[in-house]
Homo-oligomer: A and B are copies of this chain.
Amino acid sequence: MKLTTVQQKLVLHWGEMGTRWGISRTVAQIHALLYFSPEPLPADEITDVLQVARSHVSNSLKELQTWGVVGVVHVMGDRRDHFQALKDVWQTFEILLDERKRREIDPTLKILRETAAMMAEDKTTADVFTKERVDEMLGFMESVDAWYGEVRRLPRAARVKLVTLGAKLSQLLR
């Protein structure tokens, strides 16, 4: 199997962007490869095309499967697993966002809650200023967190509408 120029460009770019999204380059490349590939690919093929260690492909695929953006299918007369990426773009990015929130927001929220609780208890604290900053930061994060949870609980169509509506939202806010 050989990649077209376009596919190659996309795979390489995805890899580079992956690192900025907190995803390792190879994992992102594999995802791109599967997403832009017409048919599901076996691990060997991925190894060939991307020129990375077989074991690494295996582990990366596992990671992508854990997230749910890649799945396994089987081909008649072929014992090997074949992998395909989720083709639904919205869902793919929602999964990615969830993951990022889990890693980038939730831990901070936890620390801020702990800290705020601790400071509220401790009456002797002379450091009123820091307390205020913690409370403000916590308030902000709680808002964002609650908002995300609510949006996430909406039926998907509503969520899509929320984005595609765009400018019209500003009118609703009057």
Inter-chain contacts of A139 with B (CB < 8 A): 89
Tell me whether A123 is interfacial, beta carbon within 8 Å. Answer: no
B89 pairs with A119, CB closer than 8 A? no
B133 pairs with A154, CB closer than 8 A? no
B163 pairs with A143, CB closer than 8 A? yes
Least CB distance, A148 to chain B, in whole angstroms: 9
1/0 per position for A142-160, CB-CB distance to B under 8 A? 0110110011001000100
In the complex where A4-B130, A89-B140, A140-B93 touch, is A170 in contact with B147 (Cβ < 8 A)? no
B158 pairs with A89, CB closer than 8 A? no
Query: Can you give 20 A-B contacts (C-beta < 8 A)?
Result: A4-B127, A4-B130, A6-B115, A6-B127, A9-B111, A17-B104, A17-B107, A20-B104, A21-B104, A37-B129, A38-B129, A87-B136, A89-B136, A93-B140, A144-B163, A147-B163, A147-B164, A151-B169, A162-B173, A172-B172
Interface, chain A (partner B; CB < 8 A)? 4, 6-7, 9-10, 13, 17, 20-22, 35-38, 87, 89-90, 93, 103-104, 107-108, 111, 115, 118-119, 127, 129-130, 133-134, 136-137, 139-140, 143-144, 146-147, 150-151, 154, 158, 161-164, 166-167, 169-170, 172-173
